[in-house]
Amino acid sequence: MKLLFAPASPYSSKVRMAARYLGIPLEVVRVNTAENPPELIENNPLGKIPTLLTDKNEAIFDSRAIMHFLHRTAEKRLYPKDKDKRTDAEVLEALCDGISDCLLAIVYERRFRPPELVSQDVIDRQWAKINRSLDHLDRNLPKTGKKLHGGHFALAAMLGYLMLRFPGEWEKGRAALAEWPATFAKHFEPYPALRPKA
């Protein structure tokens, strides 16, 4: 299978980590969404990454749909069998993906708008959501052991994106959250290689 991805994308990172954990080999193809590469837009009308191209020439997107496809494809589980635990994992994944959405909104506001049109109000509103969510995570970190799930990979990818784009802007007062990536890496050694990178 082939994954169209970008190395800085937290959603791409999440999927790549999950596939590695499950033992599913992926051919990874780096794409630049700003250039509307034909292989991407012909398979995903949204032109977004990650997009997974299966062995049956099916295109699967977005990252959560890919995660559930990988869960159904692999012999190993990506989400718990117990209904309540699965719901917890899915909510954690949704929260972390939502934080990544907010972080990307800030990056795009600064990167793609002329400086005189950048809205500090928009940025502040995104940071308010991010800060509430990070405080919640700092108080409610998931148990992290040998069995990992989709929520763990979403959390690892989101924190990797924070470390990449916002170093020094989120760690203060959140010692448990700031230390979690090192804990996660002990249980998932490929993390440093697969977390978001420029």
pLDDT in tens, 41-94: 999 999 999 999 999 989 999 999 999 999 999 999 999 999 999 999 999 999
pLDDT category of residue 181 using cuts at 50, 70 and 90: very high
CB-CB neighbours of 106 under 10 Å: 19
pLDDT in tens, 91-135: 999 999 999 999 999 999 999 999 999 999 999 999 999 999 999
Mode of pairing for the β-strands spanning 59-60 and 27-30: unpaired
Residue 5's DSSP bridge partners are: 30
Mode of pairing for the β-strands spanning 59-60 and 51-53: antiparallel
- Domain covering 83-194 in this structure, CATH number: 1.20.1050.10
On whether the pTM is more than 0.85, the answer is: yes
Residue 173 has a pLDDT of 97
Residues 6 or more apart in contact with residue 25 via CB below 8 angstroms: 1, 19
Q: So where are the chain's domains?
A: 2-73, 83-194
The CATH number, out of the four listed (3.90.79.10, 3.40.30.10, 2.60.40.420, 3.10.520.10), of the domain defined by the range 2-73: 3.40.30.10
Token pair, residue 49, equals 């990454």
Which is it for the CA torsion 74, 59, 52, 126, positive or negative? negative
Residue 30 has a pLDDT of 98
pLDDT in tens, 1-41: 999 999 999 999 999 999 999 999 999 999 999 999 999 99
What integer is the mean pLDDT of 174-184?
98
Residue 74 has a pLDDT of 96
pLDDT in tens, 144-171: 998 999 999 999 999 999 999 999 999 9
Q: Using an 8 Å Cβ cutoff, are 150 and 89 in contact?
A: yes
Longest dimension (CA), the chain: 53
